[in-house]
Amino acid sequence: MSKPWGRALLRAWALVACAICASGPVQAQPAAVATAPEAAASAASEIANAMAFAVEVEAPKAIQAYLLRHLDLMRYRALPDLDDTELERLQIAAERNTRDLLGTLGYFSPVIEITRSGVAGEPGGAQRTVRIDVQPGPPTMVTEAALGFSGAIAEDLQAAGQRAEISRRWTLPAGKTFTQEGWDDAKTQALRQLAARRYPMGRIAASRAEIDPQENTARLGVTLDSGPLYRFGELKISGLARYDPELVERIARLKPGTEYDQTSLLEAQQRLQDSGYFNSVVMELDPSADPQSAPVLVTVREAVRNRLQLGVGVSTDSGLRLSAEHTNLQLPLIGWRADSKLLLDGDTRSIESELLSQPDDGNWRWSVLGRLKNEDVASVKVRSQMLRAGRLQQGERIDRNYYLQYDRATTTATGLNETAQAISANYAWTQRSFDRLPYPTGGYGLGVELGGGLTLGSQRDPFFRTRLNWLGIWSLDRSSDADKAASTARAGRIALRLQAGAVLAKDSADIPSTQLFLAGGDASVRGYGYQSIGATEANGVVAPGRYLAVASVEWQRPILVDGLPSPWESTVFIDAGSVADKTSQFKVKVGIGAGVRYRSPVGPLQLDLAYGVDKKALRLHLSVGFTF
């Protein structure tokens, strides 16, 4: 059977072709040529007339759109040879189809009236029309929702919390409107929660939905069968060529004998993926094995040993940035990893290289880092060299690092040329307790650095150094847990950031400037240039100082589109900070402004316009990503 729109287009093209062939000179026979608008109108008219019948639905807007999308009747409109008898049969079937569709929306006692106008072949070419009038009636309300359990979870005392959590998060409780979609989603979510922890082979053993169309009520019941409790067994690893299986086991950190947890499995897979040793990682439980020691199947594809990355970027802090990074994943003889980086931007030229051992059973690594850097900060130029050796441990929420460090820095400016050296022992600890990354809506992050050392050179003085970074985020919603996500997005949140630092030593102690502090820039005091806020010397030179204090408060709120949160957010903020060699010399610099945020695939894109009160000037700040 040919398609009516195809025949109509062929007829239109045939008319145009005949007109062109028969017309001759356009001036001689102007009426013989059909214009393009006339041909298009003719084709559109033939397409409309080729429809066997039209369908009209009179119902509330949401129901009308749903019926027009799913009615079986809509599929038969394009049959050109459909006679009145066949249309009558379709019309009768449409009543049952409409009733079934309304049932999926929770309307089980609707009033439906279907009428038809027009007759096939009627003079004048009037189109036949099927009209469906719907009065949906009252929606069906859930009056009872019974959730039961069978299998190991039913009698396991340690699973009481999981049973309670599944019941508490049931999404179609008594008092809610029943829909087929809501019923299916509720069962799917309950099963997903069951299978996420301890019971990966969980299934729906029984489900029922008893509908009373007279009372417009629904009684629901679901029984979840957990099956046996599963525990992680050994890792069965495939795809290794250069590395030992112990490397995968140490990074994955899935302890045999622990209860199955889907989150733990995904986190282990992510750790392996983020390690840099592998291009791809797939981890899955073997459900056919003994549940008390089910092997974890790990399939990896190793990354190339040597990798070179060239980068070009731009930021409002440093301007145009060029970088080159080289990674060797397995150095000869020692098997350590080497990461080297060259960076060039408007204010900084640096080259560094870090050697990292493979992680041990506690996820600790040895690290050796060397760096050469020339940079323009505040109103001085700093040439520095640094060498660090120690151990580090990186986790999902907590990082630890202790190390010995040697610093040498030459600071120059008008009337200033100083070189200082120091050796120090340091400990750094960072905790990230945000609800989700990289788009947190609540939680906090805390970073602490502690160090003590000795200056070198003609005069040797002890010093103590500490630095604190803290970021807290609070949601402004006051909703119940069921509506928390949507409400949080609309209400927005408050972000409070604090930074503090101090170097304690004699006034005459010659501390390398790389151990001191500066402020200003995208992640510090907006409205001022990157590291432009420092301690003012007697000669007017602004240089790194011994004390740092920064505070920022920001209100982040989504931009709504059609009443729903969009990927864009608006923000207003106020930043304040100062750097000095003595706390009595603090002169606070204030920046106020507003900006927008965009949820990009690579992390938050932040664009802020800030007014530096002290400088009396506007400054644009642009950054990408969330780091703490």
Rounded Cα distance, 396 and 81, in Å: 66
Final residue belonging to a domain, choices 263, 287, 302: 302
| pLDDT recorded at residue 561 | 87
Peptide bond into 565 cis (omega under 30): no
Cα–Cα–Cα angle for 607, 613, 615, rounded to 5 degrees:
90
| pLDDT recorded at residue 395 | 86
349 lies in some domain: no
Q: Are residues 217 and 250 in the same domain?
A: no
- Which residue in 559, 561, 554, 567 sits closest to 603, CA to CA? 567
- Check if the beta carbon of residue 303 is closer than 8 Å to that of residue 322: no
CATH number of the domain encompassing residue 382: 2.40.160.50
- The amino acid occupying position 414 is T
| pLDDT recorded at residue 123 | 55
- Which residue in 119, 102, 120 sits closest to 110, CA to CA? 102
- Which residue in 130, 49, 138 sits closest to 87, CA to CA? 130
Q: Are residues 116 and 253 in the same domain?
A: no
Q: Are residues 158 and 267 in the same domain?
A: no
Q: Are residues 121 and 35 in the same domain?
A: yes
Q: Are residues 180 and 152 in the same domain?
A: yes
Domain that holds residue 177: 141-225
Q: Are residues 190 and 244 in the same domain?
A: no
Final residue belonging to a domain, choices 207, 225, 243: 225
Q: Are residues 64 and 197 in the same domain?
A: no
Angle between helices 36-50 and 4-23 (to 10 degrees): 150
Between the two ends of the chain, the Cα-to-Cα distance in Å is 65
Query: Residue 286 — φ and ψ, nearest 5°?
Result: -90, 100
- Which residue in 305, 303, 287 sits closest to 295, CA to CA? 287
- Count how many Cα atoms sit within 13 Å of the Cα of residue 328 in the half-sphere of its side chain: 12
Rounded Cα distance, 220 and 202, in Å: 20
| pLDDT recorded at residue 128 | 87
Q: Are residues 162 and 270 in the same domain?
A: no
Q: Are residues 539 and 480 in the same domain?
A: yes
Averages of pLDDT over each 10 residues, the chain, 628 residues: 39 37 36 43 48 89 92 87 87 92 92 87 69 94 95 91 94 94 95 95 95 93 96 96 94 94 94 93 94 96 95 84 95 94 94 96 94 94 97 93 98 91 98 91 96 93 98 82 50 94 95 96 94 90 96 95 88 97 95 95 91 96 87
What's the token pair of residue 460? 């040797």
DSSP state for residue 537 in the 8-state scheme? P
Q: Which residue has the tokens 């025949």?
A: 7
Q: Are residues 211 and 270 in the same domain?
A: no
Final residue belonging to a domain, choices 94, 119, 135: 135
What's the token pair of residue 53? 């019948």
- Check if the beta carbon of residue 584 is closer than 8 Å to that of residue 485: no
- Which residue in 231, 228, 223, 205 sits closest to 166, CA to CA? 223
20 lies in some domain: yes
Query: Residue 617 — φ and ψ, nearest 5°?
Result: -150, 155
The beta-strand segments (E) located in 47-168 are 54-58, 111-117, 129-135, 141-150
CATH number of the domain encompassing residue 298: 3.10.20.310
| pLDDT recorded at residue 4 | 41
| pLDDT recorded at residue 489 | 55
CA separation, residue 198 to residues 152, 157, 167, 232, 293 (Å): 10, 13, 17, 10, 12
DSSP state for residue 311 in the 8-state scheme? E
613 lies in some domain: yes
What's the token pair of residue 243? 């590395």
338 lies in some domain: no
Q: What is the pTM of this model?
A: 0.74
Q: Are residues 549 and 433 in the same domain?
A: yes
- Check if the beta carbon of residue 513 is closer than 8 Å to that of residue 544: yes
308 lies in some domain: no
Rounded Cα distance, 544 and 318, in Å: 18
| pLDDT recorded at residue 624 | 87
| pLDDT recorded at residue 81 | 80
- Check if the beta carbon of residue 610 is closer than 8 Å to that of residue 525: no
552 lies in some domain: yes
Q: Are residues 563 and 620 in the same domain?
A: yes
Q: Residue 560 CB: number of other CB atoms within 10 A?
A: 12
Dihedral sign, CA of 38, 42, 47, 49? positive
Q: What is the total count of domains within the chain?
A: 4
What's the token pair of residue 259? 């209860």
Contacts of 320 (CB under 8 A, 6+ apart): 312, 313, 314, 345, 346
What's the token pair of residue 599? 């949820």
| pLDDT recorded at residue 122 | 61
568 lies in some domain: yes
Rounded Cα distance, 115 and 53, in Å: 13
Rounded Cα distance, 271 and 461, in Å: 43
590 lies in some domain: yes
- Check if the beta carbon of residue 227 is closer than 8 Å to that of residue 205: no
Q: Which long-range contacts (CB under 8 A, 24 or more apart) does 451-454 make?
A: 451/405, 451/424, 451/425, 451/426, 451/427, 452/424, 452/425, 453/405, 453/422, 453/423, 453/424, 453/425, 453/515, 454/422, 454/423, 454/424
Strand partners, 481: none
